[in-house]
Amino acid sequence: MLAAAALFVVLASLVIGGRETNDIALARQRETISHALTQHGLALARELRVQTVWTEAFEKTQAPDQAWMHAFYGVFLSKLFGYDDIYVLSGDDTPVYAFVAGHDVPPAAYAPIGAKIKDLVAAVRKPGSAPNYDVVDTDVPLGNGQSLQHLAVADVRNVLKTPATVIVSTIVPDRPTADALDVPRYLLVAVENLDARLTKKLGAAFTLGDLQWITGKVPPGYSSLKLAALDGANVGTLAWRNAQPGWQFVRHVAVGLTISLLLLVVLAAFLMRWGRQQARQLVESEADAQHAAKTDALTGLMNRVGLSESFPGLIEKAKASTSTLAILSVDLDRFKEINDGFGHACGDAVLLAVSRRLKALLEPPSLVTRPGNDEFMLLVPGLDRDGVMELADRIVMLLAEPIDVGGGTRVMVTASVGYALAPADGDRTDDLVRRVELAVAKAKEDGGGAGVAFAPEMDLELFRRRALENALRKAVAAGDIYAVYQPILDSSGTRVAAVEALARWSDPLLGPIAPDLFIPLAEETGLIPELGKQVLRRALADGMEWPGIDIAVNVSAAQIHHGDIVEVVGEELRASGFPAHRLEIEITESVLLADEKRANEQISGLRNLGVKVALDDFGSGYSSLQYLYKFGFDKLKIDRGFIKSLGTPDDSSVILASIVKLGLGLRMTITAEGVETPEQLRVLRDLGCHQIQGYLFSRPLSAGQFTLFLAAHRPIAAAG
C-alpha cells in the first residue's frame, strides 16, 4: 500500500509537472514569438533611418517629387528590403505617394490602411502621448548647433486582412535647410506583410513546427497565440504544432514507474536533469532571439544594431589602455550593377565571399560587421596609422581578386575603403562613423578601388559647403544677389551695342563669393530659379535707364528644364514695362544636351514673346552644328577659349573664321567674348564679328558706372 501510495504520488506529481511544463513551454513560446515580432519591427524602424534621415528625401517629399519617391522609396525599398507597401504622408497626414504590389498607385489607396494606423501616426506626431508605444527617438545633429529628433514606431497590424509589420517614420534632413525646424514632418509608412515565408522562417528559428496564420478553430495538436496590436485591435492567430514536452516525458517514464518503484530515484534524477535542460533551452532560445536581432541574416556578421552596441565599449577600452581603435568602412564599388546584371542571388554570393575574405584577414578581438547592404565596417584594436593604412591597402587588393559565384561565373569587384583612428580622429561613435564615410566618399570621388584616410579638411570642406549653402539661402531670401554689367561694343570698339547682366554676391561674413562657386551651388540646391528671377528683375529695372541698349541675361539649364522660363520672363517684362525686343536670353549648349524637346519649347516661347535668344560659349561643349539650324538662334557668342589663343602657337583663327562664316550664313549676330588685346580686336574685326566684349573695353560695372561709360560711348541706336 505504501508502495502503491508512493507510486500514485509520483504519477500524480508527474501529471501535474507535465501539465505545468507544457504551460511554461507554451508561455515561453508565446513570449518568444511576441518578442521576435517586436524586435523585427524595431529593426525595420532602425533600418529605415538610412532613407528617412536624409536631406534629399526631406526636400523631395516636401516638393513632392513623384519620380524621386518612386525610385528611392517605392522601387528601392520594395526590391532591396522587401517591403510590400510604401506611403508618404504630408505634414497634415494627407497621403502624397503610394506604392503597392510593385507599382505606383493613387495616394487615395492609403485610406483603408490609414484608418488602422491612426494611433501609430499620432504616437510619432506627439511623442510621449502614448507611453506604451515604443517610439524610437534618434537625435540628428544638423552641424550648425541645431538638431532634430527622428522618430519611428513599429507594430504588427492586420492590414487589408493581412498581418503585417507597419513602420511609421518621420522624414528629416541630416544637414541644415531653410525650413528644417519649421515645417510639419512628412512621414514614411512602410508595410512588410508577415506572409508564409516569413512565418516559416520565424518558426524554424525558434523550433516551432509548422508555424502558420490560421482562421477559425485551432487544429488539433496545435498551440496558438492571438496577436493584438498596440491599440488593442486583433491582428490574427498564429498556430504551431504542439510538442507538449511534459506529456512526452510522462509517456516515456510511466512504463518504467509501473515496472518498479525502485526506479523512482533514477527517474527523479532524470526529472531534475531534464528540468534543468528545459530551463537552459528556454534561456538559450531567448538569447538566440537577441542574437538574431543583432546579426545580419545573410553573412552571419554583426549588423548595425550590434555594431552600435559594441562600438562605444571598444572605444572606451582603447582609451582606458591608451591604445587605439582603427575603424575601416569598406564599400563595394558599383555593387548595384552586379545585382542588376547578374541577379540578386549572384549579389548575395558576392557579399558572402567578401565577408569570408574579411573575416579570414582578421583575428579576435577585431570585429567584422555589415551595417549596410554593400557596406562592411571593421573595428581593429591596436593599430597605428601605418598599420591601418597597410590594412586598407590589403583589403583593396584582397577584394580585387575575382569571385567565383558558381556556374562558371566569375565576378570582378573593387572596393573603396575609408578609415580613421580613435581616439585621435574622434572618440564618439557617430563622429567616427561620419568621418570614415567622408573618407569613403572621397575614395569613390577619386574613382574607387583605393583606401583613403580621414583628414580634418574633409570635415572643414563639408562645414564650409554647408555654411556657404546656408548663407546663400539667406542671401536669396533677402534679395542680396545683385547685378553688374559688362558692355558689349560694336567691332569699331567705340559704340555700345548691348550690355550683359552678371550675378554677383558679397556675404557680410564670407566676403565676395565668385560666381563659378555660388551659381553651381544654387543649381544644386534648387535656388537658381529665384536667384535668376532676381537678377532678371534688377537688369530690366536698370535697363529702363539706358534707351536703345539691349540687355543680355543668362539662364541655366535648371531654369529651362525644371521651371517655365517663358512664364517668368513674360511676367517680368509686363511688370517692368521693358521692351521685349531689347532683351536677350543667353543659354549654353548644356541646356540643349539635357532635353532637346523641352529646350526647343522654351526657346520658341521666348521668341514668341519678342525676346532674342543667344547661344552662349559656343565651342566650349559639344558644339553640335545641328543646334544652330534646329533652334534658330538670334546671336552666337564665341567662347573666350578661342579668343585667348589668337596670336599663340595654338592660334585658332582658322576655326574662328569658320564659326564666323557659319554664323553669318545663318544671319546671326556674332559676338566674341573675352577680348583683352588690340591684336585680338583686329583679327576679330577682320573676320567680320559684329560685337566685341571683354576687359579690353571694360570690366563688369555697377549700374551707375555703366551709365557713365555709356555717356562716353555712343549707343549704336544713337549713332544711327
pLDDT score of 621 more than 60: no
pLDDT score of 645 more than 90: no
Exposure of 320 in the CB half-sphere (CA atoms within 13 A)? 6
Residues of the chain with pLDDT > 90, as a percent, come to 36
232-255: pLDDT as tens digits = 888 888 888 877 666 666 666 666
- Mean pLDDT score, 45-69: 90
- Mean pLDDT score, 8-34: 76
Q: Which of 393, 364, 39 is nearest to 206 (CA)?
A: 39
97 or 294, which is more confident:
97
User: How far apart (Å, rounded) are the C-alpha atoms in residues 80 and 72?
Assistant: 10
Which domains are seen in the chain, by residue range?
2-33+203-293 (no CATH), 48-194 (3.30.450.20), 304-454 (3.30.70.270), 466-638+702-719 (3.20.20.450)
User: How far apart (Å, rounded) are the C-alpha atoms in residues 632 and 640?
Assistant: 22
Residues of the chain with pLDDT > 70, as a percent, come to 90
pLDDT for the residue numbered 285: 63
555 close to 587: Cβ distance less than 8 angstroms: yes
Q: How far is CA 54 from CA 61, 113, 177, in A?
A: 11, 26, 11
Q: Peptide bond preceding 423: is omega within 30 degrees of 0, i.e. cis?
A: yes
Q: Peptide bond preceding 364: is omega within 30 degrees of 0, i.e. cis?
A: no
CA angle 431, 433, 436 (to 5 degrees): 105
pLDDT for the residue numbered 658: 82
User: How far apart (Å, rounded) are the C-alpha atoms in residues 332 and 354?
Assistant: 9
pLDDT score of 286 more than 80: no
DSSP character at residue 109: G
pLDDT for the residue numbered 2: 66
pLDDT score of 622 more than 60: no
Q: Peptide bond preceding 365: is omega within 30 degrees of 0, i.e. cis?
A: yes
Q: Which residue has the cell 544654387?
A: 522
For residue 213, the cross-strand partners are 238
307-356: pLDDT as tens digits = 888 899 899 998 889 999 999 999 998 888 888 778 888 989 999 999 99
User: How far apart (Å, rounded) are the C-alpha atoms in residues 165 and 81?
Assistant: 13
- Read off the pLDDT band of 720 (50, 70, 90): very low
For residue 411, the cross-strand partners are 403
323 close to 377: Cβ distance less than 8 angstroms: no
Q: Which residues contact 693 (CB under 8 A, 6 or more apart)?
A: 486, 487, 488, 489, 500, 637, 671, 672, 673, 674, 675
Q: Which three cell numbers stand for residue 233?
A: 485591435
User: How far apart (Å, rounded) are the C-alpha atoms in residues 370 and 270?
Assistant: 44
User: How far apart (Å, rounded) are the C-alpha atoms in residues 261 and 250?
Assistant: 15
pLDDT for the residue numbered 326: 93
356-389: pLDDT as tens digits = 999 999 888 889 999 988 899 999 999 999 999 9
330 close to 368: Cβ distance less than 8 angstroms: no
pLDDT for the residue numbered 252: 67
362 close to 368: Cβ distance less than 8 angstroms: yes
DSSP character at residue 701: B
Q: Which residues contact 703 (CB under 8 A, 6 or more apart)?
A: 483, 485, 542, 545
**Mean pLDDT in the chain?**
85
pLDDT for the residue numbered 282: 60
Strands 136-141 vs 103-105: parallel, antiparallel or unpaired: unpaired
Q: Which of 295, 266, 255 is nearest to 40 (CA)?
A: 295
Q: Which three cell numbers stand for residue 424?
A: 585621435
E strands, 160-261, where? Answer: 162-171, 186-193, 212-214, 222-228, 234-241
User: How far apart (Å, rounded) are the C-alpha atoms in residues 231 and 383?
Assistant: 51
One-letter amino acid at 520 equals P
459-511: pLDDT as tens digits = 777 777 888 899 999 999 999 999 999 999 998 888 999 999 999 999 988 88
Q: Which residue has the cell 558706372?
A: 705
H helix intervals, 609-699: 625-631, 640-644, 653-665, 678-687
Q: Which of 258, 257, 276, 259 is nearest to 267 (CA)?
A: 257
Q: Which residue has the cell 533677402?
A: 478
One-letter amino acid at 359 equals K
Strands 550-554 vs 496-507: parallel, antiparallel or unpaired: parallel
554-570: pLDDT as tens digits = 998 888 877 789 999 99
CA angle 102, 79, 303 (to 5 degrees): 145
pLDDT for the residue numbered 630: 74
153 close to 166: Cβ distance less than 8 angstroms: no
For residue 327, the cross-strand partners are 379, 420
User: How far apart (Å, rounded) are the C-alpha atoms in residues 548 and 544?
Assistant: 9
pLDDT for the residue numbered 593: 67
Q: Which three cell numbers stand for residue 504?
A: 554677383
- Read off the pLDDT band of 170 (50, 70, 90): very high
One-letter amino acid at 588 equals T
684 close to 491: Cβ distance less than 8 angstroms: yes
pLDDT score of 266 more than 90: no
User: How far apart (Å, rounded) are the C-alpha atoms in residues 102 and 70?
Assistant: 10
193-213: pLDDT as tens digits = 887 777 887 777 777 778 888
Weakest-pLDDT range from 333-347, 431-445, 641-655:
641-655
Q: Which of 606, 624, 607, 687 is nearest to 654 (CA)?
A: 687
- Read off the pLDDT band of 638 (50, 70, 90): confident
Q: Which residues contact 495 (CB under 8 A, 6 or more apart)?
A: 489, 713, 714, 715, 716, 719
CA R_g for the chain = 36
E strands, 471-510, where? Answer: 482-490, 496-507
